[in-house]
Amino acid sequence: MKVGYIRVSTEEQNEQRQYDILSEYEIEKFYVDKASGKNTDRPEYQKMMAYLREGDTLYIASYDRLGRSMMDLLNIIDDLDKRGVKIFSKKENFDTSTPQGRFMLRSFLNLAEMERDLIHERTMEGVRIAKAAGKYKGRKPKELPHDYHRIMKQWVNGEISAASACRYFGCNTVMFYRWAKRNGYEKASD
């Protein structure tokens, strides 16, 4: 079976570009995640990994859609290879079932990881310079959802969990607890 995997990092990003890239391969089943690639804790990724069988081919727009960490990606590829699943990446255009393909993958992953590190380093340097000049204000605070206070009261009263509130708000737990503290909502334990 031809299986496609598409991942964008946030809900706001559009996955259509990756659909377009993979459209020529007559893919029978797609799995789409809107989540960071920093680890493999992604719902559609988990479903896809459980679904893939020997003889299937996994199509991706590029290897960084499967994962950002070189170790994660190498583990994913090794797992799929042992299960008899082929992987094809449109961008890198090589086959991981050959020694040459695995070598090329490791080389590309090392370069991609270095590029991400350099971008992060340059970004942080720019932030330090802006802070020193008094021009850095940080990220604009996210606006509270319209029914924020109702949901927070339910959380404080123990009617819903923090995880449920996070899913409702579409935020992570760090943001949830930051909002709670900033707006005076406290709960003994969750």
- Rounded Cα distance between 115 and 64, Å, is 12
Strand, helix or coil for residue 8: strand
> To 10 degrees, what angle do helices 162-169 and 173-182 make?
100
- Rounded Cα distance between 186 and 163, Å, is 15
Query: Are 56 and 66 within 8 A, CB to CB?
Result: no
Known catalytic residues are 9
Query: Which residues neighbour 27 within 8 Å (Cβ) at sequence distance 6 or greater?
Result: 2, 3, 4, 59
